[in-house]
Structure 1
Amino acid sequence: MTESPRAHIAMFSIAAHGHVNPSLEVIRELVARGHRVSYAIPATPGAFAEKVAATGADPVLYSSVLPVDGDPEAWGTELIDNIEPFLNDGIQALPQLAAAFAGDEPDLVLHDITSYPARILAHRWGVPAVSLWPNLVPWEGYEKEVGEPMTAELRQTERGRAYYARFAAWLAENGLGDLSSDDFVARPRRALVLIPEALQPHADRVDRTVHTFVGACQGDRADQGEWQRPAGAEKVLLVSLGSSFTKQPAFYRACAEAFGELPGWHVVLQIGAHVDPSELGDVPPTVEVRSWVPQLAVLRQADAFITHAGAGGSQEGLATGTPMVAVPQAVDQFGNADMLQALGVARHLPMEDANAATLREAVLALVDDPRVAARAAAVREQMAREGGTRQAADLIEAELPL
C-alpha cells in the first residue's frame, strides 16, 4: 500500500451506471488507504447515492437536469441533442457544487468526463484535477479525423453556433477562456483510463503523458449478489444490452427463439426496465428472464455473451475471457464492437442483421473455435498486467500536492 498523508479528495460524476460504476472500486480503495472522499452525484432515482456510500465515500447530492439514465428517447436524435444537456447541466450545477464544498475544499479533484463543473472548480480552488475516463480516449489526430467531420455541419447551424458561443462564454467567465470547448471536454490535464488498452483505437497515438491505461477496476462486486449456474446447464449464454438502450422486445424474442430449444443451453436474458416480460410471449424454461442481473457474477460462469458492447460490458467480457457477439446500439459501442472483433474474441453483428438464425450461428461459431478461446485468454492476461484498482489509486496519490 502506498503511504501518503490523509487527504480530502472530491469525485464528481453524473447519475449514469456507465459513468459511476467504473469509478467505485477506485473510490473504495482510496477510502481504504485513509483518504476522505466526497463524491458529488445527482439526487436522482437509481440508488447512486447508496452505491457511493457503500464505498465509504460521503455522497454530496446536487440537482441535475440531465435525462434520467435508462431513457434513451429523452436524449433526442441529433448530435446537438446529445451534447447540449451536459452544458445545461454543468452551468446550473456549478453554483450548487461550489456552495456544497465552500469551506471544505478538497486537496484533489477526480472527475468523470461528463462532469463539467469539476474542472472549473479545480481551477478555482487551485488543486490538481484527474479525470477517471470510462471509455476510449482521443488520440493524436482525433480532432482532424473524427471530431471536426462529426461537428462540421452542427457548427453551421444557428443552434450549434449558439451552443459553442455559450460554452466559450462560460469558460471565459470562469477563468478558462484559453481552452476551446472541445479541449475542455476531451483534453484533460491528467486522465486515468478505466478500460483496457486492448479496447483503445490507435493506442500507439495516445499521449501517455496525459493518459494512463489502468484497465478494468471491477472488484468482486459481491454487493450486487451472486448467480448460480443451473444444474444440468452445459452452456450458459448471457444476453444484455446494458442499462440505457434496452427497449428491444423483438431482439429478446429472437434470442429466446435462437437458444431456448438448443439442447444443453441455459440463457440469462436481461431485458432492462423498459420491457415487460409479457411482451416476449411464451419463453422456454431454459430462458431465465430478468430485468437486471449481477452481470460479472454471471459472466464468470458464462460460455458466451451477447452484448451491446458498452465500455463496461466489453471489459467485463474481456476480463472473464467470455466470447462475445457484439450488437451495438449507440455512440462508442460501434467502435468497441469493431475492436472486439479485431481482437479475435467477438463477432460484430449489426442490430438490423440480428435474428434467431444469425445470433445462433455467431454464438456457436465462437464457442466452438479454440482460436477464440486462446485469444480471450491472452487478452485477459494482458489486462491483468495493467494494474487495475491499485494502480489507479497509486497514480492518484502521486498527484496529491506535497
Structure 2
Amino acid sequence: MARILFVNIPAHGHVNPTFPLVLAFVKAGHKVDYLISESFRKKVEYCGATFIPYLTPVDIDFTDRKFNILRNIRKAFKEIDAGIRELGPQYDVILLGGMHYDITKMAKEIKKPIIFCSAIFLMNEQTLNHLVKIAIGIPALIRVVARNSITRKLLSRFLLSPLLDLKINDLLTAIGPQSSTLNINFTSNYFHPEASTFDDKCLFIGPSPTISLMDDTFPISKLEDSKKKIIYATLGTAFNRWTGFFKSVIDAFKDSEYLVVMSTGNKETIKLIGDIPQNFIVRDFVPQAEVLKHADLFIAHGGMGSVSDGMYLGVPMILVPLGADQFFNAYRLQELGAGKVLKKHDVTAQNLRREAKLVMENDSFKAAVKKVQQSFISAGGPDLAVRKVEEML
C-alpha cells in the first residue's frame, strides 16, 4: 500500500477530473489524502480519500466581479507550495493538478516523485499551432501572442509572472508537460491535437464521467420517462453570469417538442431569466453525468469537463466558447465533426433551433461522436494510471 497525496488548485475544471483517479487508487488499496479547499470536502470523502484543508482558507470564484480572482489564485499557489513542502516528504508520491512553475525542482527538494495531472490540452509548439489554426473564433490578440514565441515569453515574464506571483518564462511550458516523472492527461491521444509529438512521460488516459453527488430533489424520473428528445444546456461553473444565453435557450425551445434541462450554476441567474416554460427543468446545479445519460443534445460553453462528459456519454454538442481554453476545446470538437461551434454574438433563438435540428438529425455527428467516445473508453482510464504509478513505486 502506497501513501499518495493529491494537491490541486480550487477550481472545478481542474479538481473534478481527478476524482475518478482518486477513487481508483482507493479501490486498489492505497492510502489517499487530498489537499484542497473546503468546498471540495464532500467529494473527496465520497471517493474514500482523506480531506486535508489548505492551511489558510481560499477558494477561487470565477464569477467574482470584485476582482478578487487573481489574489485568490496567488493565495492558492502559495498554499500548494507550502503544503507540498510540509506534507510531501511523508508520502510515496504526490499528484499535482493545476499549474506549477517548477515541479522537477520541487521533487528534488523533497526527494519524492511528483506527477503532473493535466485537465486541459498539454501544450507544445505543435499543439499550440494546430489549435490556433483551427480556433478561428479566438480573439486576434491571443492569436498573435500565441504564434509569436518572443512576444509570448515577454508577456509571460513581465505580465503573467507578477500577476500570479510565479516565475513563468513561457506560458507554453507552464501549461505543458511539467513533470520529469509522469504527466497524466485526462483525454485520449485521438482527441488531443498532435498527441504523437509528446514523449512517453505523457500518459493520455481519457476522461471519466464527472462524479456528481446525487441530488434527491432532482426529478431524474422525468428524463427516464420522457418520450421527448432531451436537450441539456449549461455554461458551467466559471462563465455562468450571461443571462442572455439562458433566455435565448428558453426562447428557442419553449413549448417545443423537446424536454430541456438547464443548469445556471447559481441561484441569482434563475431569478433573472424570467418565467420557466413547462417543458423546462431549471436548476442552479444538476447531476450532469446522470442528465447526459438521457440527453440527445448538449449545449455548453466548451470547458474540458463538459466536453469530456458529453463525448464520453455519446452526446453531440453545440458549443459557445467564452474564454480560457474553451475556444480550443470547442474548435477541436468541431474539427473532428462531433459538434458545432456557435459564436457568442450568434446565440439567438433562431440559430439555436437551427443548429439543434442539424446536429440531432444528421447522422455524421453521431458517427463522429462515437469515434471520440470509443477513443475515451479505450484509452485506459484511471486503472491504467494506477498501474503506471504502481510500477514506479
Aligned equivalent of 2:151:
152
Give me the TM-score of the superposition, normalised by structure 2. Answer: 0.84
The residue aligned with 1:111 is 96
For 2:291, give the aligned amino acid: V
Letter in 1 for 2:96: H
**Aligned partners of 2:164 and 2:228: how far apart in 1?**
59
For 2:173 and 2:187, how far apart are their aligned partners in 1?
Answer: 21
CA distance in structure 2 between the aligned counterparts of 1:67 and 1:154, rounded to whole angstroms:
29
Match of 1:98 among 85, 88, 112: 85
Distance 1:244 1:114 in 2: 18
Return the offset for 1:184: 5.4
Q: Distance in 1 between matches of 2:108 and 2:42?
A: 29
Unaligned runs of 5+ in 1: 1-5, 172-178
Distance 1:162 1:341, change over 3 A: closer
> What does residue 234 of structure 1 align with?
228
Q: Secondary structure at the match of 1:60?
A: strand
Cα distance, 1:34 vs structure 2? 1.4
Cα separation, 2, equivalents of 1:129 and 1:85: 24
1:10 aligned residue: 5
Asked if structure 2 preserves the Cα contact closer than 8 Å seen for 1:167 and 1:181, the reply is no
Structure 1 length-normalised TM: 0.83
After TM superposition, the runs of 4+ consecutive aligned structure 1 residues lying more than 4 A away are 63-67, 84-88, 115-121, 140-148, 156-159, 179-182, 219-226
2:49 is aligned with 1:35: no
* Equivalent residues of 2:12, 2:237 under 8 A apart: yes
Q: How do residues 362-377 of structure 1 correspond to structure 2 at under 5 angstroms?
A: 362-377=355-370
Q: 1:294, CA displacement in angstroms?
A: 0.5
SS in 1 for 2:259: strand
Q: What residue identity is the alignment partner of 1:281?
A: G
Q: Percent identity?
A: 24
Identify which of 325, 338, 342 aligns with 1:345. Answer: 338
Measure the CA separation in 2 of the matches of 1:393 and 1:198: 21
Q: Which of 103, 108, 111 matches 1:126?
A: 111
For 1:3-402, what aligned pairs fall within 5 Å after superposition?
6-43=1-38, 46=39, 48-63=40-55, 68-71=60-63, 73=65, 86-87=73-74, 89-91=76-78, 93-99=80-86, 101=87, 105-114=90-99, 121-141=106-126, 147=146, 149=148, 152=151, 155=154, 160=159, 163=162, 167-168=166-167, 183=173, 186-188=176-178, 189=180, 190-205=182-197, 207-218=198-209, 221=212, 223=214, 227-228=220-221, 229=223, 231-262=225-256, 264-273=257-266, 275-400=268-393
Which has the larger displacement, 130-139 or 155-164?
155-164
Letter of the structure 1 residue corresponding to residue 159 of structure 2:
G
Q: SS at 2:116's partner residue?
A: strand
Question: Corresponding residue for 2:136?
Answer: none
Q: CA RMSD in A?
A: 3.2
- State whether residues 109 and 118 of structure 1, in contact with CA within 8 Å, keep that contact through their aligned partners in structure 2: no
Structure 1 residue 114, shift from structure 2 partner: 2.6
Q: Residue type of the partner of 1:398?
A: E
Q: CA deviation at 1:384?
A: 1.2
Q: Tell me which amino acid in the other structure corresponds to 2:154.
A: R
Secondary structure of the equivalent of 2:203?
strand
- Conserved? CA contact 1:270–1:289, under 8 Å: yes
How far residue 75 of structure 1 moved from its aligned partner, in angstroms, is 5.8
Partners in 2 of 1:384 and 1:197 — Cα distance? Answer: 12
Q: Deviations over 1:24-72 (max 9, x none)?
A: 11111111111111211124xx3x0221122121122114686623425
AA aligned to 1:56 is G
Q: Are the equivalent residues in 2 in contact too, given 1:154–1:160 (CA < 8 A)? A: no
Letter of the 1:238 partner, please give it. Y
